[in-house]
A and B are shown apart, each in its own frame.
Chain A
Amino acid sequence: MLDKRLVIITGHYGSGKTEFAINYAIKIKENFENVSLADLDIVNPYFRSREKKSLLESKGIHVIESSIHSTTIELPALSSGIMGIIQNQNMHSILDVGGDPVGAKVLSRFSDLIKENEYDLFYVINGNRPETRKKEDVINYLKAIENSSSLRATGLINNTHLLKSTTIVDVEYGHELAKKVSWELDIPIRYEVAMESITDKISNKEIEDKFFPINLYMREEWMS
């Protein structure tokens, strides 16, 4: 595992940060004893990782949600526990941050503390979102998130998808997009993310090497 102990997951609104964060936490838990996931989403009222608290806790992952314990409230209240997991050297900590620069603004409150630790800041890219289909737009959002969080991105996550109707074409499109961003900003692609069912469709070695298969925990059976 190349990733740092503290992993911050950011991205454009709707890029699929939360789904990746949940899958990532479960993966990390396979290798490490102490794993925490903090939901820092102050933007979304629905589809937040705290909704999956019981699932994650059943897998032994510590979940930190809003300091107001409710999945159905939209107050931007952050838990004091977040500072704890940022600093705890014995904890693999994942921060699931809200979308867009406005969601990442929450991080600036912790940025001094975060900089005292070794951290990774992943930037999740979904090339199928209208606002991040082109290289320039992806880069603009990344820079805006860096500015509002006062932190630097250390890795790109290609998470280009159309939910359950994702095909390998989407993943490959996102890969080429992420590659262009990677070259321009000199930030490596860390993972190529797609549903597990895509696995045997991958022929591109570059995608295969960094492939991170996920389950769609946030999508109910009846959703597309």
Chain B
Amino acid sequence: MSRVLMKGNEAIGAAAIKAGCRYFFGYPITPQSELPEYMSKALPEAGGIFLQAESEIAAINMVYGAAGAGARVMTGSSSPGISLKQEGITYCAGAELPCVIVNVMRGGPGLGSIQPGQADYFQSTRGGGNGDYRTIVYAPASIQETVDYVMEAFDKADIYRMPVLILADGMIGQMMEAVEIKEPNKIDLPEKDWATVGTKGKRKPNIINSLYLDSEKLEQHNANLQKKYNKIEATEVQYEAFGLEDAEVVCVAYGTTSRIVKNAIKHCNDNGIKVGMIRPITLWPYPYDVFKSINPKAKGILTVEMSAGQMIDDVRIAIEGRLPIYFNGRCGGMIPTPASIVEDIKKIAGGK
């Protein structure tokens, strides 16, 4: 298939179907409603099932059920809707169920606005639900990357038996870009011998559950989960980085904001300022190690977000006090401008 023009939300749906997803349970909310709309048309054509749930909570519990039966399943929502789903997400994590959850973030807190935001970083990377659990979090920056990581998310969910989050912002969901829906990579996936697909009288019933009344067993379950998370931290980190070794200033940004930062960096390079960049693609696991490659004589780090500065916590952990950290952020659906970022970079490079 050659390149076509698609809206982010539609492309997410097309990629999911290409990756073998045949079940979507969701509830419309701006700015992600084109995803359920697309699925309502395309999934039945692909032999799948789209179901508009009566609520976000119902939708994520339908995901729990379908995942428990071994199906490739997706749900999507936007910030306040994802908040409602948190109970179901921690249940999926606890019961080790593979599923893909899309969050097309909007301005918050509360109902907030329908304009783009990145203020669900804490919720996504620190766990919005209860208990010691993690979700892999992909934060794509273009429609093409979104498509590619939606496909990858299904594989990672199956490999690690866990919920995987696609963290997009309203701009990625609403923007149109040229995209190619490629054939997904064929990889060997573990057999779902834990799924509730019927015993056929040949084995004991499989049970999908996150309740462990025996404390010792629950502690062991947690230890197993942590072992899995440690492995993911060691092997699944993804990022883009450039110009770190001789940078005067290094910018850190993800998603839509990273696009704006790149535009600002181009202006700075033209003016002779050396600016490097780290763009985390996985927000969990976070690319802490790449920060070690930053020029120790750099003047500082500039974090740019559509939030009040939630990612700064991870940048602090990564930079271990070696360099000062500055912040440029907009909230509530406002988008940082390239000009304001250029101004900040110039100030930091000039030692002001």
Enumerate chain A interface residues (CB-CB to B < 8 A). 14, 44-47, 72-74, 126, 128-130, 133, 161-163, 165, 221-224
- How near does chain A come to B150, taking the closest CB pair, in angstroms? 16
Q: Which of B84-92, B172-180, B198-206 contacts A (4 or more CB under 8 A)?
A: B172-180
- How near does chain A come to B335, taking the closest CB pair, in angstroms? 8
Given contacts A129-B5, A223-B175, 5 further A-B contacts (CB under 8 A): A45-B31, A126-B5, A161-B5, A222-B338, A224-B177
> Does B273 lie at the interface of the complex (its beta carbon under 8 Å from any beta carbon of A)?
no
Contact B6 A222 (CB under 8 A): no
Of all chain A residues, which has the CB nearest B175? A223
> Does B182 lie at the interface of the complex (its beta carbon under 8 Å from any beta carbon of A)?
no
Q: Which residues of A contact B18 (CB under 8 A)?
A: none
Max chain B C-beta neighbours (<10 A), residue from A74, A130, A163: A130
- A185 CA / B240 CA spacing, docked (Å): 50
- A72 CA / B171 CA spacing, docked (Å): 13
Partner of A222 from the list B4, B263, B333 (CB cut-off 8 Å) is B263
- A223 CA / B116 CA spacing, docked (Å): 15
Q: Which residues of B contact A224 (CB under 8 A)?
A: 142, 177-178
Of all chain B residues, which has the CB nearest A222? B263
- A36 CA / B170 CA spacing, docked (Å): 30
- How near does chain B come to A54, taking the closest CB pair, in angstroms? 16
Of all chain A residues, which has the CB nearest B259? A222
Contact B262 A222 (CB under 8 A): yes
Contact B259 A14 (CB under 8 A): no
Q: Which residues of A contact B4 (CB under 8 A)?
A: 128-130, 133
Contact A165 B114 (CB under 8 A): no
Partner of A162 from the list B3, B175, B260, B263 (CB cut-off 8 Å) is B3
Number of interface residues of B (CB under 8 A): 25
Contact A163 B338 (CB under 8 A): no
Q: Which residues of A contact B338 (CB under 8 A)?
A: 221-222
- A142 CA / B7 CA spacing, docked (Å): 20
> Does B115 lie at the interface of the complex (its beta carbon under 8 Å from any beta carbon of A)?
yes
Contact B176 A163 (CB under 8 A): yes
Q: How many A-B Cβ pairs are below 8 Å?
A: 59
Q: Which residues of B contact A165 (CB under 8 A)?
A: 3, 178
- A182 CA / B73 CA spacing, docked (Å): 42
> Does B30 lie at the interface of the complex (its beta carbon under 8 Å from any beta carbon of A)?
yes
Max chain A C-beta neighbours (<10 A), residue from B4, B30, B263: B4
Contact B114 A74 (CB under 8 A): yes
Residue-wise, chain B 3-35 has the 8 Å CB interface mask toward A (1 for contact) of: 111110000001000000000000000110000
> Does B113 lie at the interface of the complex (its beta carbon under 8 Å from any beta carbon of A)?
yes
Residue-wise, chain B 140-151 has the 8 Å CB interface mask toward A (1 for contact) of: 001000000000
Max chain A C-beta neighbours (<10 A), residue from B30, B178, B260, B333: B178
Q: Which residues of A contact B114 (CB under 8 A)?
A: 45, 72-74
- How near does chain A come to B280, taking the closest CB pair, in angstroms? 18
- How near does chain A come to B90, taking the closest CB pair, in angstroms? 30
- How near does chain A come to B45, taking the closest CB pair, in angstroms? 12
25 A-B residue pairs with CB within 8 Å: A14-B6, A45-B31, A46-B115, A46-B170, A46-B174, A47-B175, A72-B114, A72-B333, A73-B114, A74-B30, A126-B5, A128-B3, A128-B4, A128-B5, A129-B4, A129-B6, A130-B4, A130-B6, A161-B5, A165-B178, A221-B263, A222-B263, A223-B175, A223-B177, A224-B177
- How near does chain B come to A72, taking the closest CB pair, in angstroms? 5
Q: Which residues of A contact B14 (CB under 8 A)?
A: 130
Q: Which residues of A contact B30 (CB under 8 A)?
A: 45, 74
Contact B178 A163 (CB under 8 A): yes
Top 8 nearest A-B pairs by Cβ distance? A222-B263, A46-B174, A162-B178, A128-B5, A222-B260, A222-B259, A130-B4, A45-B30
Residue-wise, chain B 337-348 has the 8 Å CB interface mask toward A (1 for contact) of: 010000000000
Partner of A223 from the list B113, B115, B259 (CB cut-off 8 Å) is B259
- A46 CA / B8 CA spacing, docked (Å): 12
- A74 CA / B338 CA spacing, docked (Å): 27
- A161 CA / B338 CA spacing, docked (Å): 26
Contact A14 B3 (CB under 8 A): no
- How near does chain A come to B15, taking the closest CB pair, in angstroms? 12
- A3 CA / B31 CA spacing, docked (Å): 36
- A221 CA / B6 CA spacing, docked (Å): 19
- A45 CA / B6 CA spacing, docked (Å): 16
Of all chain A residues, which has the CB nearest B11? A130
- A46 CA / B256 CA spacing, docked (Å): 15
- How near does chain A come to B277, taking the closest CB pair, in angstroms? 13
Of all chain A residues, which has the CB nearest B333? A72
Of all chain B residues, which has the CB nearest A165? B178
Of all chain A residues, which has the CB nearest B257? A222
Residue-wise, chain B 171-199 has the 8 Å CB interface mask toward A (1 for contact) of: 10011111000000000000000000000
- How near does chain B come to A133, taking the closest CB pair, in angstroms? 7
- How near does chain B come to A14, taking the closest CB pair, in angstroms? 6
Q: Which residues of B contact A130 (CB under 8 A)?
A: 4, 6, 14
Q: Which residues of A contact B178 (CB under 8 A)?
A: 128, 162-163, 165, 224
Of all chain B residues, which has the CB nearest A126? B5
- A165 CA / B170 CA spacing, docked (Å): 22
Contact A14 B177 (CB under 8 A): no
- How near does chain B come to A52, taking the closest CB pair, in angstroms? 15
- How near does chain B come to A124, taking the closest CB pair, in angstroms? 13
